Structure 1
Amino acid sequence: MNKKYILAVDQGTSSTKTIIFDEAGTAVARASEPLASKYKGAFVEQDPQEIYRNVLASVEKCLQDFTASGGELSSIQACGISNQRETFVVWDEAGKPLYNAVVWQCKRSVAVCERLKEEQLEPLIKAKTGLLIDPYFSGSKLIWLYENEANVREAVDTGKAYFGTIDTWLLYKLTNGQSYFTDYTNASRTLFFNLAELKWDQELLEVFNLSHLNLPEPKPSSYLFAASDFNGLFPQPIQITSMIGDSHAAAFGEGCFSPGTAKATMGTGSSIIMNIGEKAQGSETGMVTTICWSTEERVDYALEGVIVTCGATIEWLKNEIGLISDSKETEAMARAVADNNGVYLVPAFSGLGAPHWDMSRKASITGLTFGCNKNHLVRAALESIPYQIKDVITAMEQDTGIALQELNVNGGLTSNKFVLQFLSDLLEKPVAVQRMPDISALGAAYLAGLKAGVYKDIDHLKTLNQDKVVTRPGEQTEQVKSDYEGWQVAVGSSVPVKAELSV
């Protein structure tokens, strides 16, 4: 029997990764192509045409890798796309971008958000979309474009502007403008998608002065969106059978198929998503409600907590303070001392995210005495990562009444065994790391393969990629609990316990 393969395109902020997976969910070919962003003050943008070219270049490299090892292009059954969330493009009837792609990191709409809050719109927006008013989400930046760019405003008002998150833009380009869809996860990050009705919310669009904007038709993440030959890279078009935001793709790739299963990406920052089942639930603790993933038979919802600073704290210790020369040193340094000696680092370098949402907060180190050394500071920095994750998980459990079953983690910090053990001790739950590093691509491939018939069903997916490294709670659980109480004081009080160093 001929083998069947799935092409997965993971279009990220800094690169596009393309991976080909076989029927066992194993990566057999891969490639990556770097992508640049343009930074100017609070503005972060990318060239929409370059994003498309970047994807084609990455796919071409991956196909070359695949065929060089004997693979046949005709055995690739379908394509799945995962993408950087919230980043969006607005284009005209001819498919020409009216402005650069506005990246999720962009903060240009802070004033717009403040105005929306002053107009008392947050309760309405939260009830309909599950989101908070924040520059992170696409809608406020789209309002900024409408109010500040005359060509965008004219195109919107005359019904000639087309909006799309990156999945939609790529689908549009890959099909020469013939397909105009998005999936529920990407739609749910815009600030104008109704979570309960799974459609664009006309009331919010009118409030935002965007009622004449053309919007893609939302569909489940696993769906036959279109077919494309990828600008001639394939001799015959292949079906595109999944599109999904990258964090949601990671949750699916990690196996977050049932309520209480969660994933945490531990990178520069952290996105924590917990599956809460078939019913959307609001949060009273600073989480956002979102779509976890969806097929044509099923829609699972999730709570998400965004932590602003995780790995970036370690980079700060290395690059700005000079305590370490390599992040790999931190594990041994943390283990070189018995505890944190009462030192806590609150990494609010860019404010505090969920569940605190204090974006004006500054970073601080509390508990410093002459008995402290650099190992205590490094340990405090590492401990701040599990502490923040614990804050989010606890808030999610309080919101939903659903207890965490297992936390699946991915990202660069998963190589630090101290962090994993401390996190497991703190949560008193298993912490699992999958050996497959490109988890968003895997999730997109799974969803594409479900629709294409390469993977039978969810139960089939549960049997794949079982090779996980699981860290379980150890002997330090009680000590870690006590340490966490100190964190709660440090993060919740502006009055230092001992000396405080603002950073």
Structure 2
Amino acid sequence: MRDLVLGVDQGTTSTRAGVMDRAGRMLSLVQIPHRQSFPREGCIEHDAVEIWDNVRRSMAQAVEEANAGARLAGVGIANQGETVLAWDRETGAPLAPAIVWQDTRTQAEMEELGRDTATARRIRETTGLATDAYFSASKIRWLLDHVASSRRLAERGRLCVGTVDAWLVWKLTGGRSFCTDASTAARTLLFDIRALRYDPWLLER
């Protein structure tokens, strides 16, 4: 009988995995911290490979401790939200460390964009968000502008850029699924919260 659910909370400082039954009772809970990297002022990064390894380890340990095995009905993932990374679709290798939601390396550019009142208004009306480096869009742009291999891979159709949940789903499915959900997409500053799709105008900026 498949009556258990495995939940994964991939957070800013650690990964937690736990098995729950239909009544919401926690049968196991495993937490594994990961390193925080501060390469220069305003920059906060995570090692995507370390995160993936911690997710695999915590999931396996939680399932073992709960003796869940074939009883698992599904897996749910919560994640850091605005943190982003880029990877090679063919090799699965990250191109650079993940840029964490707290990272402010693009704040000056976003403040300049925000001074264009018409643009800032359109962004807020479309996404419901302010023009701020907190969100994913400027971090994605930074990766494209500063990681040389990202543009080259994009031209070859081999570039994946996404939030941490997209990375984990991609890894868990062996590269068969590259996706996120609307609630996480809505934190990118690229998502039309009324049409429930990425906005072409924002993607082109």
Give the alignment's TM-score, normalised by structure 1. 0.39
Q: Is the 8 A contact 1:5 1:22 kept in 2?
A: yes
Q: Does 1:161 align with 2:156?
A: no
**C-alpha separation in 1, matches of 2:2 and 2:139:** 45
8 Å contact 2:84–2:99 — kept in the other structure?
yes
Q: 1:133 to 1:157 in 2, by over 3 A?
A: farther
Taking the aligned partners of 1:161 and 1:47, their CA distance within structure 2 comes to 18
C-alpha contact 1:46 1:100 (8 A) present in aligned 2: yes
Give 1:101's match in structure 2, choosing from 85, 98, 102: 98
Give 1:297-336 correspondences, 5 Å limit: none
What's the counterpart of residue 49 of structure 2?
A: 49
Find the aligned partners of 2:145 and 2:111 in 1 and give their Cα distance. Answer: 15
Counterpart of 1:110 in structure 2 is 107
Q: Deviations over 1:165-219 (max 9, x none)?
A: 1111000011110011110011000010111111111111111xxxxxxxxxxxx
| 1:460-479 matches, cutoff 5 A | none
**Structure 1 residue 8 corresponds to structure 2 residue 4:** no
8 A contact 2:127–2:193 mirrored in 1 = yes
Q: Distance in 1 between matches of 2:45 and 2:155?
A: 24
1:28 Cα deviation after fit: 1.2
Q: Is the 8 A contact 2:35 2:46 kept in 1?
A: yes
Q: Partner residue of 1:85?
A: 81
Q: Is the 8 A contact 1:19 1:28 kept in 2?
A: yes
Paired letter, 1:10: D
**Are 1:45 and 1:103, in contact at CA under 8 Å, matched by a contact in 2?**
yes
Deviation at 1:3, TM superposition (A): 7.2
- C-alpha separation in 1, matches of 2:177 and 2:2: 29
Return the alpha-carbon distance in structure 1 between the equivalents of residues 5 and 59 of structure 2. Answer: 12
Instruction: Go from structure 1 to structure 2 and tell me whether the alpha carbon gap of 1:174 and 1:115 turns closer, same or farther (over 3 Å shift).
Output: same
Match of 2:17 in 1: 18
> Could you say which residue in structure 1 is the equivalent of 2:60?
60
| SS, match of residue 53 in structure 1 | helix
Aligned to 1:74: 70
After superposition, residues 115-126 of structure 1 pair within 5 angstroms as: 115-120=112-117, 121-126=119-124
- How far has the Cα of 1:45 moved from its partner? 0.7
For 1:118 and 1:53, how far apart are their aligned partners in 2? 42
The residue that corresponds to 2:194 in the other structure is 196
Trace 1:202-213 onto structure 2 (pairs within 5 A): 202-207=200-205
Q: Given that residues 3 and 22 in structure 1 are in contact (C-alpha distance below 8 angstroms), is that contact kept between their aligned partners in structure 2?
A: no
Percent identity between matched residues is 37
Q: Structure 1 residues 22 and 116 mapped into 2: Cα distance closer, same or farther (>3 Å)? A: same
In the TM superposition, residue 154 of structure 1 has moved relative to its aligned partner by 3.2
Is the partner of 2:162 in helix, strand or coil? strand
Query: Secondary structure in 2 aligned to 1:178?
Result: coil
SS of aligned partner of 2:56: helix
Cα pair 1:3 1:23 within 8 Å, conserved? no
CA–CA distance in 2 between the matches of 1:158 and 1:132?
A: 33
Is 1:3–1:75's contact at 8 Å kept on the other side of the alignment? yes
SS at match of 1:128: helix
Give the deviation of 1:123 after TM superposition: 0.8
Contact 2:13-2:35 at 8 Å conserved across structures: yes
Name which of 164, 171, 174 aligns with 1:173. 171
Report Cα offsets for 1:289-334 as digits up to 9, x if no partner: xxxxxxxxxxxxxxxxxxxxxxxxxxxxxxxxxxxxxxxxxxxxxx
Offset at residue 157 of structure 1 (A): 4.9
Match of 1:319 in 2: none
Q: Secondary structure at the match of 2:17?
A: strand
Closer, same or farther: CA 73–91 of 1 in aligned 2, 3 Å: same
CA distance in structure 1 between the partners assigned to 2:95 and 2:122 by the alignment: 30
CA distance, structure 1, for counterparts of residue 108 and residue 33 of structure 2: 32
Matched residue, 1:255: none
Alpha-carbon shift at residue 159 of structure 1 (Å): 4.0
Listed one character per residue, the Cα deviations across residues 329-373 of structure 1 (whole Å, up to 9, x for unaligned) are: xxxxxxxxxxxxxxxxxxxxxxxxxxxxxxxxxxxxxxxxxxxxx
Match of 1:37 in 2: 36
List, as ranges, runs of 4+ consecutive aligned residues in structure 1 with deviation greater than 6 Å.
none
Specify whether residues 137 and 45 from structure 1 end up closer, same or farther in structure 2 by C-alpha distance, changes over 3 A only.
same
Taking the aligned partners of 1:178 and 1:3, their CA distance within structure 2 comes to 24
Shift of 1:12: 0.6
Structure 1 unaligned residues grouped into runs of 5+? 208-503
Alpha-carbon distance, 1:155 to partner: 3.1
Q: Which amino acid aligns with 1:4?
A: D
